[in-house]
Amino acid sequence: MSTTFPCDGDQTVSVSDHYADGTYRWWHLSVPSPELLGAITDGWFPPPGHALDVGCGLGTEAAYLSGIGWRVVGVDLSPVAVAAAVRLNPGPQYIRANLLRLPLQSSVFDAVLDRGCFHYLEPGNRPGYAAEVSRVLKPGGKLLLRPSLRAAGVRNDIDEQVIRTVFDGWRIQHMARATVPSDTRTLELLVVRLTM
């Protein structure tokens, strides 16, 4: 199954719906990630406020934050993921939307999460992603970004320089390569903590 969504002008992009075909199992984690828990435990993540989970999938991290007092919106392109998140992880508000044109007000979120959505973007769409996240974050807001270093098992172009270039003007407070768990395997990614 594939999903199409509008980009700029009349263009559309078609992507496979990994939640419909079961591929999501490669990266899904059914408990809050160690990266998120670490950011909360060490005090980098702000106290409860408003959070946006970009590419929320089945809503695991969104529901966790909701359970500890956050007001959370989870957004995903997949209608299958959004429907499952509503059913499996109630609490947050879930919406299906193009992350390059979020149907959300400006300057409303204290924090944004992204565990593996950024690496699916074409290089030309990455600055638009950074601009859109910047738009919805409050001044001083934080982005916990965790892009995968592989897409479909193949090494992609994501590296530290890509992050520095795309997020020029942001303050990178931490950036390190990490091997983290999913329910079925381990993933190689960058753990990046950014502040507006």
Q: Domain ranges in the chain?
A: 2-195
Q: What is the pLDDT of residues 131-175, one digit of tens each?
A: 999 999 999 999 999 999 987 778 999 999 999 999 999 999 999
The pTM is what? Answer: 0.89
Residue 84, SS3?
helix
Q: What is the pLDDT of residues 17-50, one digit of tens each?
A: 877 877 777 788 999 999 999 999 999 999 999 9
Query: Which has the higher per-residue pLDDT, 3 or 117?
Result: 117
User: What CATH number does domain 2-195 carry, 2.40.10.10, 3.40.50.170, 1.10.8.350, 3.40.50.150?
Assistant: 3.40.50.150
Q: Give the gyration radius of the chain's Cα atoms.
A: 15
Residue reference for tokens 């966790």: 64
Mean pLDDT, range 11-20, rounded to an integer: 58
